[in-house]
């Protein structure tokens, strides 16, 4: 299965592209891994998509891995800790 995905992060008010990334790859329709994820999506969208869940998951994972983590201020770090503690 050949897949490609283009991702963009756009500044809401300015419309400026802050980040852009492209991921392309070939994947087998593997249903052995990520059974919980496959079950979730097949319950939502039907059994016919079971073989496509992992290929799309791995493609999007590789795309998002290219996205740099933000550098947080001390205030943002404190807020993040507070949110994650909930």
For the segment 16-70, what is each residue's pLDDT rounded down to a tens digit?
A: 999 999 999 999 988 889 999 999 999 999 999 999 999 999 999 999 998 888 8
Token output for 44? 């939502």
Residue 34 backbone phi and psi in degrees, to 5: 55, 45
pLDDT band at 81 (very low <50, low <70, confident <90, very high): very high
Confirm if 57 and 36 have CB atoms less than 8 A apart: no
Token output for 78? 């404190």
> What per-residue confidence (pLDDT) applies to 40?
97
In terms of residue numbers, what domain contains 50? 2-85
> What per-residue confidence (pLDDT) applies to 46?
97
Query: How many domains in the chain?
Result: 1
Return the CA Rg of the chain: 17
């Amino acid at each position: 299965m050949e897949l490609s995905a283009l991702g963009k992060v756009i500044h809401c008010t300015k419309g400026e592209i802050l980040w852009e990334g492209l991921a392309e790859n070939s994947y087998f329709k593997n249903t052995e891994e990520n059974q919980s994820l496959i079950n979730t999506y097949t319950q939502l969208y039907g059994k016919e998509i079971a073989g496509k869940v992992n290929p799309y998951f791995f493609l999007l994972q590789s795309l998002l891995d290219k996205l740099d983590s933000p550098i947080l201020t001390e205030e943002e770090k404190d807020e993040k800790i507070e949110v994650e503690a909930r």
